[in-house]
Amino acid sequence: MTEESNRNTGNWNTGDRNTGDWNTGNRNTGGQNAGDWNTGYQNTGDQNTGDWSTGDRNTGDRNTGGRNTGDWNAGYRNTGYRNTGDWNTGDWNTGNWHTGCFNTLNAEQSYYFNRLAPVEHWNAAKKPAWLFVPSPTSWVPDTEMTDAEKTDNPTFHTCGGYLRTNDMMDEWRKAYESASAEDIQMVRDLPNFDAEVFKQITGLDLSQPQPSDCSGKSVTIDGVTYTLQRAHEHNPEAGE
């Protein structure tokens, strides 16, 4: 394979578009990675921004699980440190769903919208897909980068793009706009839901129920079936 096709700026790489050294994957900006799209060192998974991780999508260091933002976690989706359980924001937990430290049992209660509720109630509650859409970071391929982004991220030539830090309020707004009325109501039905707390975090005001859109639905009156459409506001300037 030619040097041009590899497009590596580092040494001893077997993958493509690496700016570090000893990478066997692709689009790494750190060194000794075996996965792809890593910006740290000695990762064997993908899309890690920390170091020494063997899982995927970690932003911390020395994780063997996935999607951790803390360090030394063997579990998944932890924001704390040294957890072997999952979904912990505290440290040294072998159980799940803890915000404290050194817990071996699974938490029976936790804070949701700043108030305690049974964890089992939260786990059993239906959660719409749009709640999981907003992401603090997004991978932007070089074909979609602006000139300013290319100037600020010169390694995009090798990586094929860059990891963008998103405006979370904007991400929440986009997720909300793509959600159905039913999915938005599903958020209001979550245990302990508090509209003010939700607004502080997301910028979205869910204090009032969203009017249901019946467009496309049919209703039969006196034997005649009608297809409903959303009513348009009267606009005198448009001559309606």
- 235/151 Cα distance (integer angstroms): 47
DSSP class per residue in 163-187 = EEEP-HHHHHHHHHHTS-HHHHHHH
Joined together, the tokens standing for residue 179 give 């959600």
Q: How many beta carbons lie within 10 A of that of residue 150, not counting itself?
A: 14
Joined together, the tokens standing for residue 216 give 């496309």
> Distance between the two ends of the chain, CA-based, in angstroms?
67
Structure confidence at residue 225 as a pLDDT band (50, 70, 90): confident
Q: How many beta carbons lie within 10 A of that of residue 75, not counting itself?
A: 23
pLDDT for residue 149 is more than 80? yes
- Given this model, what pLDDT does residue 211 score? 57
Joined together, the tokens standing for residue 50 give 């920390």
**β pairing state of 218-221 and 224-227:** antiparallel
Q: Running DSSP on this structure, what letter comes out for residue 19?
A: S
pTM for the predicted model, two decimal places: 0.63
Q: In this structure, which long-range contacts are made by residues 59-65, counting pairs with CB atoms below 8 Å and at least 24 apart in sequence?
A: 59/137
Summarised one tens digit per residue, pLDDT across range 54-83 is 777 677 766 777 777 777 677 776 877 767
HSE (side-chain half, CA atoms, 13 Å) at 162: 16
